[in-house]
Every structure is written in C-alpha cells, then in structure tokens.
C-alpha cells in the first residue's frame, strides 16, 4: 500500500526504518511528527493519549522533563509503540564518534528506546558510526537524521555547509535522512534536489500560522513544505500549545497527507 502513496521515495529507499515510517504514515494518513516538548511526564502522557492517532512519529527531548524517571519513561515508550509511533530523540549529538556512542548510553540510555536521533555533522562523519555503534551495543538498530538546515533565524548552517552535510550523508547507510528548514520552501526544494530521491527530509519550523515564533523560531506552511520535498512535518507548539490539541493534530495530519497525495 505505502508504495502507491510514496512513489519514488518508497522505490528508492534502502532503509528498513524509512520504509516502516512510510508504512505507518500510510496507515494513519498523516506525515506529522509531534515535537512533544512538554516538561512533565503527565503532560506527555496527556498528549500521546489525545493526539497519538494523528501522528506518524513522536519527537522527544528527554533531558527537558522535570520529573523524569526510568520507569515512567519506559511506560511512555510502551504507549508510543502501542500507538504505532516511531520514537525520535532530538538529542542533536555533535561530539566525536566515541563520545557520541557513549552518550547513547548514560542515564537516559537513548540507544535502548530511540528509533531515530538527530546529529550535527560538525565533528565529521564518524559521529554516524558512533551512534550506530551505540544502537548495536544493545542489539538494536536506528537511523540518524543529520541537520542540513535549521529553522532558527541567524543559524550558521550556510549553503556550503548544507552541501557538505548532504554529500557526506546521502550515501551513508546509517543516515536515515536530513533535517531541512520547513519555514523556507525554496531552500527546502533546493535541499531536495541535492539529496535526491532516496533519503528522507524531515522539517521543523512548520505551523498553520506562518511567520515568526518565539526566540527566533520561524514558521512555514505544512503543505508548502511537503510540496517542496519534505517527507515529515515536525510540529510542536502548533499542536501541544493549541487550545484543542486533538483538533489541531487532525488539521496538520490532513494538510500533510493531502499534500503528499498532491505531490
């Protein structure tokens, strides 16, 4: 079924996790990854209960939760699996390969529950091997999303840097795809042309109300992002800060899914 909707992305994909994502998205008719940026476990449970059916993935920042415990986190991850969601820890790793591997362990033990993580390529491509080794250490596998662009104003990821990230990442089997800037469809279309048709591009900086967000965040429209080549819209405040998160999640799911069909 997923191949009908995803076309060349499905046909060219060599990644089990990417295909799993495309299958989940096709089953649930949504390209939404929720940026679950709530600071309490109860806030996270409430969110997943109300909007889980409208999401294809769940993005976490495990280190911003005030009352985190290993027990509550494993219950949360179980809930995410029950809701048919990939778990994506947005850790933005950036250190050398060996330290990144060790940072997959530690108190949060990200390697044991994450399917995807983000990384900057500033320290060189060995970071991808380090993160993959982290998953292997616990008999699991996962995918790395490299930050090729960012949504925040004044960021230092200029076009030359983006090109380097893409050229080093596009043929690496450990790289699931790239983070692109959802607030600028023209930049995103350019990124897609460089990435080609195989790898995923996931995009934050997306909101049905376009314009500037808090502290330098910028927003673009979900449909524009998908038409420009995004495979997943990462939405935070548009859902978790809305008066009715369920209605908002439904609206983002419909906008993103219809745009994929249009594409």
Q: Is residue 1 within 8 Å of 26, Cβ to Cβ?
A: yes
Beta-carbon contacts of 201 under 8 Å, excluding residues fewer than 6 positions away, are 148, 177, 178, 179, 180, 188, 191, 192, 195, 229, 230, 231, 232
Q: How far is the CB of 64 from ligand S5P (least distance, A)?
A: 9
What's the closest the beta carbon of residue 184 comes to ligand S5P, in angstroms?
11
Contact residues for ligand S5P (CB under 6 A)?
35, 37, 90, 118, 150-152, 179, 204-205, 213, 217, 234-238
Give least dist CB 90 to ligand S5P, A. 5
Q: 2 or 184, CB closer to ligand S5P?
A: 184
Beta bridge pairs of residue 177: 145, 200
Q: Which is nearer to ligand S5P, 134 or 222 (CB)?
A: 222
Nearer Cβ to ligand S5P (55/150): 150
What distances in angstroms separate CA 59 from CA 5, 162, 180, one per listed residue?
23, 23, 15
Which residues are catalytic, by number?
A: 92
Phi and psi of 131, rounded to 5°? Answer: -70, -40
Minimal distance, residue 3 CB to ligand S5P, in Å: 28
Judged by beta carbon, residue 174 or residue 238, the one nearer ligand S5P is 238
145 neighbors 116 (Cβ within 8 angstroms)? yes
């Amino acid at each position: 079924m997923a191949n009908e909707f995803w076309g060349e992305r499905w046909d060219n994909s060599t990644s089990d996790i990417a295909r799993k994502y495309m299958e989940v998205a096709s089953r649930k008719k949504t390209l939404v990854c929720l940026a679950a940026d709530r600071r309490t476990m109860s806030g996270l449970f409430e969110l997943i209960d109300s909007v889980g059916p409208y999401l294809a993935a769940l993005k976490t920042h495990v280190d911003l939760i005030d009352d985190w415990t290993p027990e509550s986190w494993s219950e949360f991850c179980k809930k995410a699996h029950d809701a048919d969601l990939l778990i994506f820890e947005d850790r933005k790793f950036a250190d050398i390969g060996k330290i990144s591997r060790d940072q997959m362990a530690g108190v949060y033990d990200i390697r044991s529950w994450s399917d995807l993580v983000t990384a900057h390529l500033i320290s060189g491509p060995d970071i991808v091997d380090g993160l993959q080794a982290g998953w292997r250490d616990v008999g699991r596998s996962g995918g790395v999303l490299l930050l090729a662009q960012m949504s925040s104003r004044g960021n230092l990821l200029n076009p030359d840097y983006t090109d380097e990230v893409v050229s080093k990442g596009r043929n690496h089997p450990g790289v699931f795809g790239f983070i692109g800037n959802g607030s600028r469809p023209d930049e995103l279309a350019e990124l897609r042309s460089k990435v080609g048709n195989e790898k995923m591009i996931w995009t934050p900086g997306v909101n049905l109300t376009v314009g500037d967000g808090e502290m330098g965040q910028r927003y673009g429209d979900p449909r524009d992002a998908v038409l420009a080549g995004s495979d997943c819209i990462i939405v935070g405040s548009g859902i978790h800060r809305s008066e009715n998160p369920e209605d908002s999640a439904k609206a983002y799911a419909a906008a993103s899914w219809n745009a994929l069909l249009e594409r």
